[in-house]
Amino acid sequence: MFRNHLKIALRHLWKHRTYTGINLAGLVIGLAACWVILLHVGDELSYDRFHEKGENIYRVVNAASWEGGQLNLATSSAPQGPALQNNFPEVLAQTRIVPEGGGSLLSAGDKSVQPGEALLADSNVFQVFTFPFIAGDPTTALKAPNAIVLTKSLAAKLFTDPAAALGKSVVWNGDKDVDLVTGVMEDVPHNAHFHFTALRTLPKGFTSRWDNFSIYTYLLLQPGADAEKISSKSQAFYEQYMKGDMGDGVKFRMSLQPLRDIHLNSHLGYELGVNGSKRSVYIFATVAILILLIACINYMNISTARSSVRVKEVGVRKTLGSVQGQVAGMFLVESIILTLLAALLAAIVTSVALPVFNRIAGKSLSLWQYGVGYTLLLLLVFSIGAGFLAGSYPAIFMSRFKTINALKGKQGSQTGNAAFRKVLVSFQFVVAIILIAVSIITWLQMEYVNKKDLGFAKDQILSFHLNDMRLRESVSAIKAELKKSPYIESVSAASNPLGNNNIGANGFKAEKDGKFEHGSLITQNYYADADFVPVMGLKLVEGRNFDPARPGERYTTLLVNETMVKEMGLKDPIGKRVQYEADTIRERRIIGVVKDFHIYSLQHKIAPMAIMQPVFTAMEDNLFVRLNKAHIPEGLQYLEEVYARFEKTYPLEAHFLDENFSRQYFAERAQSKVFLLFTLLAIFIACLGLFGLAAFTAEQRTKEIGIRKVLGASVASITGMLSKDFLKLVLIAAVMAIPIAWWSMQVWLKDFAYRISLSWWMFAAAGLLAIVIALATVGYHAMRAALANPARSLRAD
């Protein structure tokens, strides 16, 4: 029986090649798009799942709030982890990591490389996390005080043969530190929430104040331990250990965050990297399902619409003894054959499309990344499932034809479920219109964030890090040399780059009526010299800038932004004193107020900010250089020459400030591009189905069109007659899609503190575009039928 079904299916598919091609194209694109998205979704869900003990690993995160603000941090204080292990028997081990910070150079013999991200870690880090070694013993690798573990790729750069690195000495930062390579491990998988190329021993007994949240702490709990039980005791833990350093008026909560939840669920301050979004994963998974549904709906619609062509075939088969199940099986076999063929072609399309997708999304997905056998099995199951989904309704619908009526040709598309086909077509365009609206609005939001005035002139400013203390001690000389060039307009030294990291915060108290208020305002701290304001093009709305001729002010004055003045309630801020806590209580006097400017992405509101002059050389570890707009290449060359005079070890790594800010929106831009890509695919697939339905409708009404033309009907009236039913369906789809798109975009835009306002025209444009596309698709067959010779139409069978 199956062999017979197979022969009939192949014969029918070949005989009606046009409709087979339309169905096949839709299924190939739908399956390929679905495959790519599911690879992406699977990759996002796989983060940190390679750690063998990952189910029991938690990160310690902290939240603290004052009367004037709050902090939600991915970091913890250095003594927090050891204290937790000592106080809670559920904690089997605690381990801490902290970024090395700044630029670095690693040398072995005559080879020197920049290692990238290097971390300091407790010696038991490999007992908590799973990082396979290719040389050395993970249990003892970081026991020694000057031990270092290299990744395979870094070891290969220094020693060619990675395994040969074991036992060798490497020089860290020129001639300062010598470490012994005690282990070589496989490269950190891409699906880890933190990455590194080298791990160094965290100094034994490393500690700091309880209110210095600068380290990342991870706990390994006993299997089955209740993490929430530990979190619920955070206030008692705070009272016992932390209150003395953090002061009164602080509401504190410590939480344990599951390791495998970090990538998709954590967006705290000082994250170790850019995390993903669970919402985006859900959205992409939904889009994958919808695109596949659109492709399957095409098959359902075209198959049921063409049922009149096969109604007699069904009648004959039933007369010869076929029962309903056998007839349905025949149609299902036909559907499954088509989807299996589509799956094979989709694999080819996916392999071609993946490099493009990886480039857009910043991924490294592979067609066979889950193994050839597993992927082929999944593909087989998936394509058979799609075949059942696409073929089930047509099979049930056509197998129900009554034998007598079927032999007379009375059952088919004329009497069967035309209303259901209209619902399916409308559903296709509901999806298409939503995706069009989403693409329009995400593009407009990205344009907005790229063009919004940030409050300072970010163009033509180069930013680079001063890696070595010797360089920082030469800041004045470097600035003087740079200022000699006509290609460089101005130079400033500051404590942090802007646009790509957190700059740090402290609690400030304002002076009112000669006294300091009890509550603190959480304020962003920034250290910069007197040239910072002119280099950045900041606007002073009150008071004055720092004055280099008054060196004593370095310790006693500060600039504040408008938000800080507003939130402190200072009506006349110039001359007012503020007090803040660092290692000791300090006071400074406000001498100027700068107009608000953005130091982070537009997903964050402008926070209160204090700008102070550096009091230590170590604080001047970044330089900002404004180049002459007409001589940027010459300015870059001069900068490299000056840098080379002062620094022989580290190469210059300079970045334009506007690029730093642009990088913050990489994920959103990638998401916008991906949405546009899959929107176009969804529209194309929907139009394929509409194209097939329009062709069949025109074919079925050939004689009617001929009679109308003989009776004087115009081409326009015939075209309108054939198009209006499809146009109605798209209009209904627009009415249904616009509220859904409006709601979904309202939710998405909430991630941005500064965003566009939704307007009716954005959604009207999406609906209008869908209508134009649908009319163009249907219009081709409508015009072709309307222009046909009526004599030939009337002779048609």
C-beta of residue 66 within 8 angstroms of C-beta of residue 522: yes
Q: What is the pLDDT of residue 65?
A: 75
In a domain, 589, yes or no: yes
Please give the average per-residue pLDDT across 328-338, as a whole number: 76
In a domain, 133, yes or no: yes
Domain enclosing residue 707, as ranges:
423-454+661-797
**Same domain (yes/no): 587, 693:** no
**Same domain (yes/no): 477, 530:** yes
Q: What is the pLDDT of residue 411?
A: 52
Q: What is the pLDDT of residue 413?
A: 46
Q: Could you identify the residue written with the tokens 């659109």? A: 294
Q: Which is more confidently placed, 611 or 8?
A: 611
**Same domain (yes/no): 468, 598:** yes
Taking residue 747's Cβ as centre, other Cβ atoms within 10 Å add up to 9
Q: Which of 644, 660, 676 is the last residue of a domain?
A: 660
Element containing residue 77 per DSSP (H, E): strand 76-77
In a domain, 97, yes or no: yes
pLDDT band at 251 (very low <50, low <70, confident <90, very high): confident
**Same domain (yes/no): 617, 765:** no
Task: Summarize pLDDT for 460-469 with one digit per residue, the tens.
Answer: 999 888 877 7
In a domain, 272, yes or no: no
**Same domain (yes/no): 466, 516:** yes
Q: Could you identify the residue written with the tokens 């307009």? A: 489
**Same domain (yes/no): 510, 590:** yes
Task: Summarize pLDDT for 744-762 with one digit per residue, the tens.
Answer: 999 888 878 788 999 999 9
C-beta of residue 567 within 8 angstroms of C-beta of residue 608: yes
Cα–Cα dist 618/565, whole Å = 29
| Number of structural domains found in the chain | 4
Task: Summarize pLDDT for 649-661 with one digit per residue, the tens.
Answer: 777 888 888 888 8
**Same domain (yes/no): 235, 324:** no
**Same domain (yes/no): 209, 62:** yes
**Same domain (yes/no): 751, 631:** no
In a domain, 788, yes or no: yes
Helix (H, G, I), strand (E, B) or coil at 338: helix
Element containing residue 251 per DSSP (H, E): strand 251-258
In a domain, 732, yes or no: yes
In a domain, 273, yes or no: no
Q: What is the pLDDT of residue 606?
A: 86
Q: What is the pLDDT of residue 560?
A: 94
Q: Are strands 147-151 and 177-185 parallel, antiparallel or unpaired?
A: parallel
Q: Which of 641, 660, 679 is the last residue of a domain?
A: 660
Please give the average per-residue pLDDT across 218-238, as a whole number: 89
Judge whether residue 693 has pLDDT over 90: no
Strand partners, 511: 516
In a domain, 270, yes or no: no
**Same domain (yes/no): 490, 605:** yes
C-beta of residue 431 within 8 angstroms of C-beta of residue 30: no
Span of 11-15, 420-424, 652-656 with lowest mean pLDDT: 11-15
Q: What is the pLDDT of residue 415?
A: 46
- Nearest C-alpha neighbor of 35 from the set 391, 365, 392: 365
Q: Which of 230, 265, 300 is the last residue of a domain?
A: 265
CA atoms 307, 308, 310, 316: torsion sign = positive
- In the sheet that holds 488-494, the strands lie side by side as 488-494, 622-627, 461-465, 654-656
pLDDT band at 610 (very low <50, low <70, confident <90, very high): very high
- Nearest C-alpha neighbor of 161 from the set 188, 140, 134: 134
The CA angle 219-221-227, to the nearest 5 degrees, is 90
pLDDT band at 692 (very low <50, low <70, confident <90, very high): confident
**Same domain (yes/no): 130, 212:** yes
- Nearest C-alpha neighbor of 393 from the set 420, 425, 411, 422: 420
Q: What is the pLDDT of residue 796?
A: 57
pLDDT band at 121 (very low <50, low <70, confident <90, very high): very high
**Same domain (yes/no): 617, 711:** no
Q: Across 477-604, where does the E strand assignment appear?
A: 488-494, 505-512, 515-516, 521-527, 540-543, 557-561, 577-581, 585-594
